[in-house]
Amino acid sequence: MIKIALDGFGGDNSPHEIVKGAVQAVAKEEGFSIVITGDQEQIQTLLHEYGYMGNRISIYHTTEIIGCDEEPTLAIRRKKDSSLVKGLELLKKGECDGFISAGSTGAVLAGGIFIVGRMQGVKRPCLCPALPTVKGGTVLLADCGANVDCKVEYLEQFSALACGYAKAVNGVENPRVCLLSNGAEDEKGNDLIKEANSVMRGNPNFKGNIEARYILSGDCDVVVADGFNGNVALKSAEGTANAVFSLLSQEINSSIRAKLGAGLMLPALKRIKKRMDYTEHGGAAFLGVKKPMVKLHGSTKAKSVCAGILQVKSMIDGDLITLMEKELNKKQDA
Amino acid sequence: MIKIALDGFGGDNSPHEIVKGAVQAVAKEEGFSIVITGDQEQIQTLLHEYGYMGNRISIYHTTEIIGCDEEPTLAIRRKKDSSLVKGLELLKKGECDGFISAGSTGAVLAGGIFIVGRMQGVKRPCLCPALPTVKGGTVLLADCGANVDCKVEYLEQFSALACGYAKAVNGVENPRVCLLSNGAEDEKGNDLIKEANSVMRGNPNFKGNIEARYILSGDCDVVVADGFNGNVALKSAEGTANAVFSLLSQEINSSIRAKLGAGLMLPALKRIKKRMDYTEHGGAAFLGVKKPMVKLHGSTKAKSVCAGILQVKSMIDGDLITLMEKELNKKQDA
C-alpha cells in the first residue's frame, strides 16, 4: 500500500491543521496510509481530538523543528532529528513513497536535493504549482521560485518535468507548453527567453511564448519560466486577486444596497474565491528529485493539507517519476 | 499656453476615440490646447460630429500611419509624414510641450529616443504606468517593458526618473522606492536584483525589496524592475483581474440568486472594475526623454485618451523634466 510521509511540524498552523488534514485525507480516499513526523505526544493528542481511531495514520517521533528563519542548508545538516529531515529520510530509504510539507520552502528544497537526491541528468529541480484557469482546468507554472538565475538547459528540463506531471497527474496527453515572455511573438523576450524559444522550437509540445496576461486563460497546460519571473507572475496574480477581494469588501461595506446584493451573491463569491485560491487545491510539486514531493503554502490549513496529500497520492498512482524520466529522455534522444 | 500634441492615428480605436477624448479633455480642464496629428479631413469631420466648435483643438495634417506590426525603428525612419513622427517633431521643436499616443509601443519608444532624444546622462528611458492601490492612491512601476535586459545602473535611473514623476505629478514628497524581487529580504533576488539592492541601499528613498504580491498594497510609491519582470508583473495582474471578473460573470449567469445579487451590487462592481483598470486613469509615462510623453494602451477609448491628455498636462504643470533632472543629479552627486 502507498505510504506518504507528512511533515507534522512545518508551516504556521502546525501541528494542528496538519494532523487535521491527514485525518480528512484518509476519510476521503482509500488505498494509502500516512506517517506523520513530529512530536509523538502532541500528534497523538491531536489525532484523539479529531476523533481518529484507525490504523492508516502512524507517527514517527522526532524531537526537532526547522523554523522559517533558519538558513536552509545549515538547518538540514544540523537538525537531523527534525520532522522535515526524518520525513525525507523515510522517503529516501523507500519506507515512504511520497512526501509533503508546509515548512520552510528553502529547507524543503534543500532537503529534497541533498537527502532525496536529483533524478539522473536533472540539473535543477523546479517548484511547480497548478493554477486554476478560467476554463476550469489548471495550468502548471514551472519554475515558480526554486531557481532565480537560469540557463536555457534548465528551462528545457522544467518543460520536460512539468509535461511528465501533466501526463501523470492531470491526464493531459499532449501538454501545450509555452514560455513566459513579454509578448507572444518569437522575437520577444530577454536574452534567456529568446534563446530558449529558438532551442525549444524543435519540441512538438512547444507552442511559443505567452504573455503573463494569458497564464490563466486555459489555452496552455505548462508555462515555463525562470524561478524569478515565475515567482513574480505567481505573486502578482495572488496580490491582484487579494486586491480585488479587498476592494469588493470595501465596496460591500460602503452601501446597504451593495450589502444586500452581496448577501445574495455570497455563495457565488465564495465559489470564485475558492476557485482562484490555488492553495486550496494542494501545493506546488517539487519536480526533478527522485521521489514525489509536494510543498504546501506556509499558512496552509487542514483543507489544503488534505488536498496536498491526495495530490501526492495521485503523483504516485500516476507513476510520475517514470513519466518524467521518459520526457527527459525524449529530449536527450532528440 | 500649454500645447499638447496628440497622435490622431495611433491605437485600435483611432481616430474616432482619440478625437472624442480630445474634445472631452478641453471640456474638462482649462489652460491648454491640443494639436491632433493626422488626416485633416477625417479629424475635422469627427470634431464636427462630436460638436466641437472651439479654438483649443487644432489639426496638423499628416498623410501616413504607422501600424502595430511594423518594425519600429524602420517605420520611424521611413514614415516621415506619419501622425506619430510629426507629433514627435512638434515636441522636439518646442512647438508642443507634451505628446501622447496610443500607437505601436515600439514605435512610440523608438520615436521618443531617436526624435525627441534622451535626457542628459540617461542610458535607457523607461515606461512607467501608475497602478491603483488598495489604499486608494497609485504606485509607479518602472520599467514595465521598454528594456528587457537591464544593468544595475539602469535600475537606479528608473528609480530617479520615477521619483521625479512621483514628486511632480503625484505630489509625493518622499517617494518610497522598492525593488521587485522574489522576497522582501535583502538577500533575495536574481543576480541583478541582489546587486541593485546593495547599490541602492545608499539611497534614502530606498526601502528594500518587495514581493510582487504587495505591489498594489499601497505601502510603496515606486516599484523598480527590469522591463521584462515589470511586464510580467503588470500583465499577470491584468490577467488575474480579468480572470476574476470573468469568473464573476460566469457565476452571475449560473443562478437567479446571484443574478439578483449582482443587480444590486452593479454600481459597486462597476466601481471596482473601474478602480482596478489602470488604463482608465491615463497611460504609461515614458520617462528619460527630454519632453513629457505618455503612451496609452492600444485598445484605449475616449475616456482614457481624455485622462491621458490631462496626465500630460499635469506632467508639464508639475515641471516633470526639471524634477527628474534633480533626482538624476542627486544620484551623480552622491
d(CA A329, CA A257): 60
Q: Give which of A224, A265, A299 to mutate to test B binding, by max B Cβ within 10 Å.
A: A265
d(CA B207, CA A24): 43
d(CA B62, CA B86): 7
Question: Which whole-number Å values give the CA distances from B209 to A68, A243, B129, in the listed order?
Answer: 18, 20, 19
Least CB–CB distance from A241: residue in B240, B254, B258: B240
DSSP letters, A199-220, are HHTTSTTEEEEEEGGGGGGSS-
d(CA A93, CA A35): 14
Instruction: Say if the Cβ atoms of A240 and B241 lie within 8 Å.
Output: yes
**How many contacts (CB atoms, under 8 Å) link A and B?**
200
**pLDDT score of A333:** 60
- C-beta of residue A63 within 8 angstroms of C-beta of residue A86: no
Least CB–CB distance from B257: residue in A229, A260, A264: A264
**In terms of CA atoms, which chain B residue is nearest residue A133?**
B243
- C-beta of residue A127 within 8 angstroms of C-beta of residue A294: no
With beta carbons under 8 A apart, name residues in chain B contacting A217. Answer: 239
d(CA A111, CA A99): 11
With beta carbons under 8 A apart, name residues in chain B contacting A180. Answer: 232
CB under 8 Å, gap of 24 or more: what pairs does A249-255 form? A250/B134, A251/B265, A251/B268, A251/B269, A251/B271, A251/B272, A252/B265, A252/B268, A254/B268, A255/B267, A255/B268
Q: Is B283 exposed, middle or buried (0-12, 13-18, 19+ CB in 10 A)?
A: buried
d(CA A95, CA A319): 17
d(CA B261, CA B252): 8
**pLDDT score of B122:** 97
In this structure, chain A runs to a length of 334
| Residues with pLDDT less than 70, chain A | 331-334
| All cell numbers assigned to A220 | 496552455
In what helix (H) or strand (E) does residue B116 lie, and over which residues does it extend? none
d(CA B174, CA B163): 8
Q: How far is A220 from chain B (nearest CA, A)?
A: 14
With beta carbons under 8 A apart, name residues in chain B contacting A248. Answer: 268, 272
**pLDDT score of B251:** 84
With beta carbons under 8 A apart, name residues in chain B contacting A133. Answer: 243
From first to last of its 334 residues, chain B has per-residue pLDDT tens of 999 999 999 999 999 999 999 999 999 999 999 999 999 999 999 999 999 999 999 999 999 999 988 999 999 999 999 999 999 999 999 999 999 999 999 999 999 999 999 999 999 999 999 998 988 889 999 999 999 999 999 999 999 999 999 999 999 999 999 999 999 999 899 999 999 999 999 999 999 999 999 999 999 999 999 999 999 999 999 999 888 888 888 888 888 888 888 888 888 888 888 877 777 778 999 999 999 999 999 999 999 999 999 999 999 999 999 999 999 998 656 5
d(CA B149, CA B190): 13
Look up the pTM and report it.
0.92
Neighbour count for residue B246 (Cβ, 10 Å): 15
**pLDDT score of B333:** 60
Instruction: Say if the Cβ atoms of A190 and B248 lie within 8 Å.
Output: no
**In terms of CA atoms, which chain B residue is nearest residue A148?**
B190
**pLDDT score of B334:** 56
| Those residues with Cβ within 8 angstroms of residue B90's Cβ, 6 or more apart along the chain or in another chain | B5, B35, B37, B60, B96, B99
**In terms of CA atoms, which chain B residue is nearest residue A150?**
B190
Instruction: Say if the Cβ atoms of A265 and B262 lie within 8 Å.
Output: yes
**pLDDT score of B255:** 86
Give residue-wise pLDDT tens across range A207-246.
999 999 999 999 999 999 999 999 999 999 999 988 888 8
Helix, strand or coil, per DSSP, at residue A34: strand
| Those residues with Cβ within 8 angstroms of residue B171's Cβ, 6 or more apart along the chain or in another chain | none
- C-beta of residue B217 within 8 angstroms of C-beta of residue B207: no
Instruction: Say if the Cβ atoms of B231 and A238 lie within 8 Å.
Output: no
| Ramachandran assignment for B218, one of left (phi > 0), alpha (psi -120 to 50 degrees), beta (any other) | left
Q: What is the CA radius of gyration of chain B?
A: 20
Amino acid at the residue B24? Q
**In terms of CA atoms, which chain A residue is nearest residue B145?**
A182
Q: Give which of A68, A127, A187, A235 to mutate to test B binding, by max B Cβ within 10 Å.
A: A235
Provide the pairing of β-strand A284-287 with A126-128.
antiparallel
In this structure, chain B runs to a length of 334
Instruction: Say if the Cβ atoms of A261 and B258 lie within 8 Å.
Output: no
Provide the pairing of β-strand A32-38 with A2-7.
parallel
